[in-house]
Amino acid sequence: MTADAKAVAMTASPPLTERQEARRRRILHASAQLASRGGFDAVQMREVAEAAGVALGTLYRYFPSKVHLLVATMQDQLQHMHTTLRKRPPAGEDPAARVAETLMRAFRALQREPHLADAMVRALTFADRSVSPEVDTVSRLTTAIILDAMGLEAPPTAEQLSAVRVIEHTWHSALITWLSGRASIAQVKIDIETVCRLITLTAPGAGPGSPDSA
Amino acid sequence: MTADAKAVAMTASPPLTERQEARRRRILHASAQLASRGGFDAVQMREVAEAAGVALGTLYRYFPSKVHLLVATMQDQLQHMHTTLRKRPPAGEDPAARVAETLMRAFRALQREPHLADAMVRALTFADRSVSPEVDTVSRLTTAIILDAMGLEAPPTAEQLSAVRVIEHTWHSALITWLSGRASIAQVKIDIETVCRLITLTAPGAGPGSPDSA
DNA sequence: ATCAAGTCTGAAACTTGTTCTACATTATGC
DNA sequence: GCATAATGTAGAACAAGTTTCAGACTTGAT
């Protein structure tokens, strides 16, 4: 856990004092709270500032835009989820099943706070270049979760990393279609299971020319 | 072409007069123009209205929000692209190669107007429930383009449709990562080629339990 | 303890999406 | 043609993200 905390702090170049760290935490908490209530629109910068007991200007010093704030909130939540997921590793036989199980577990967690999920995912996909570093961090966290779920013995091959990238794409996009009411939960499940087949396809020994060489 | 035009008009319940159709077209043109200049942020409703020679209130009568406007712009552009792509069908041997080729061709077209692509894609993923019907139309258009590229003889199976859904997810998400500068064009190409393998995997006769039955 | 630099506060100002209002223009049914 | 409803115009007003600024508070070095 301490290692995780350090990993978060790592992104901020100058070390924060205790009071600053506390402010930052209050802000993120207020952000998640408001997001849980009413999603992206309910996270209003003035309200976040007031709820966190901080001046508006200070909020903007810590997070230079609403999108930055929500992406940071997502980082925070993902960190939680990663440690939670690690406690009970997926039980599937093959990597594909384990990844699908893990993602569906994460999905069910998001379902419990759909408004929060909405705020975070919308911010993530709406982010422009100025938020790239932060979005990249979220992406790396997601990759780590998927690779963890695969439970590989050897380091992943280039092909497997490509598959993971595509799985991440699908995960984000499927989440969006669900959040905007254009896909059912069952549909998301199918999409995830479909894309997870790529893992089996790219397993070492299942090369493109010889899928039957095992 | 006339059939396509009718397909567009189909979404608007009351038939528009000629002058109204002209206004709508001027608005969409102004939108695309401004988007091409500076992306999502450059499409400012006041400027669109002025460039289209229309009052702000009128703009909002035609398109109830900026996102609606940009999604409609995307519909328009996709329509163009679909007819363009149809003129020279992809030459690949198998469906997977044809789809990958088609999507990369579309991608290169978007590259020529990256700001426009930015505006449209950001609007698409930022759209909330109130824009679902319009976003759905865009999704159906994309599906049609992919199915077209596959060049199937028989109607697609449920599995193939799932694969197409995942391809669409990947397409949108990969586009976003490219637009926000977090992935190179080469990376997008790899992702698309990776996901297109799902097509081969789900071809009739390549069932899940017997990939080596050919 | 004190000074300087950096940080935080409170509040106003600015920007841009969206809504509203009062009036002019157009279209439609008789 | 004319009444009337729908549509369009100009512009003010409102909402929320963002910026700015003057002054108060912390902090760290001397």
Q: Which residue has its C-alpha nearest to nucleotide C20's C1'? A: B57
Segment A30-34 shows an average pLDDT of: 98
Q: Do the beta carbons of residue B66 and residue B43 sit within 8 Å?
A: yes
Q: Of all nucleotides in the shown strands, which has a C1' nearest the CA of A49?
A: C9
Q: What does the alpha-carbon distance between residue A128 and residue A67 come to, in Å, rounded to a whole number?
A: 9
Asked if the model's pLDDT at residue B107 lies above 70, the reply is yes
B172 vs A contacts (CB less than 8 Å): 169, 173
Q: Do the beta carbons of residue A142 and residue A171 sit within 8 Å?
A: yes
Q: Do B132 and A180 touch (CB under 8 A)?
A: yes
Segment B80-95 shows an average pLDDT of: 92
Residue B86: closest CA among B70, B74, B98, B94: B98
A interface toward B at CB cutoff 8 Å?
40, 122, 125-129, 131-132, 135-136, 139, 159, 162-163, 165-166, 168-170, 172-174, 176-177, 180-182, 187, 190-191, 194-195, 197-198, 201, 208, 211-212
Q: What does the alpha-carbon distance between residue B34 and residue B32 come to, in Å, rounded to a whole number?
A: 6
Domains and CATH numbers, chain A: 2-7+66-201 (1.10.357.10)
Q: What does the alpha-carbon distance between residue B21 and residue A142 come to, in Å, rounded to a whole number?
A: 46
Chain C bases near protein CB atoms (7 A cut-off): 7-12, 16-22, 26-28
With 0-12 / 13-18 / 19 or more C-beta atoms within 10 angstroms meaning exposed / middle / buried, residue B128 is: middle
DSSP H helices in A11-157: 18-42, 45-52, 56-62, 66-87, 95-112, 114-126, 132-150
Confidence of residue A72 (pLDDT cuts 50, 70, 90): very high
Q: What is the pLDDT of residues A37-69, one digit of tens each?
A: 999 999 999 999 999 999 999 999 999 999 999
Of the partner residues A126, A191, A211, the one whose CB lies closest to the CB of residue B212? A211
Q: Which residue has its C-alpha nearest to nucleotide C18's C1'? A: B65
Helix axes B114-126, B95-112, angle to 10 degrees: 110
Mean per-residue pLDDT over chain B, rounded: 90
Confidence of residue B184 (pLDDT cuts 50, 70, 90): very high
Other CB atoms within a 10 A radius of the CB of residue A53 amount to 11
In the prediction, which pLDDT does B9 show? Answer: 41
CA–C1' gap, B32 and D10, in angstroms: 25
**DSSP notation for A83-105:** HHHHHS----SSHHHHHHHHHHH
Q: Do B135 and A182 touch (CB under 8 A)?
A: yes
Q: What does the alpha-carbon distance between residue B198 and residue B160 come to, in Å, rounded to a whole number?
A: 8
Asked if the model's pLDDT at residue B73 lies above 70, the reply is yes
Asked if the model's pLDDT at residue A20 lies above 60, the reply is yes
Q: Do the beta carbons of residue A203 and residue A95 sit within 8 Å?
A: yes
Q: Which residue has the tokens 């609007």?
A: B123
Segment B184-198 shows an average pLDDT of: 97
Other CB atoms within a 10 A radius of the CB of residue B93 amount to 7
Q: What is the pLDDT of residues A103-156, one digit of tens each?
A: 999 999 999 999 999 999 999 999 999 999 999 999 999 999 999 999 999 999
Asked if the model's pLDDT at residue B111 lies above 90, the reply is yes
% residues pLDDT > 90 (chain B): 83
What would the two tokens of residue A93 be?
């036989």
Mean per-residue pLDDT over chain A, rounded: 90
Confidence of residue A203 (pLDDT cuts 50, 70, 90): confident
B159 vs A contacts (CB less than 8 Å): 194
Q: Which residue has the tokens 């093959």?
A: A94
Of the partner residues B135, B165, B197, the one whose CB lies closest to the CB of residue A191? B165
Q: What is the pLDDT of residues B42-63, one digit of tens each?
A: 999 999 999 999 999 999 999 9
In the prediction, which pLDDT does A213 show? Answer: 40
Strand D proximal to A51 Cβ, under 7 A: no
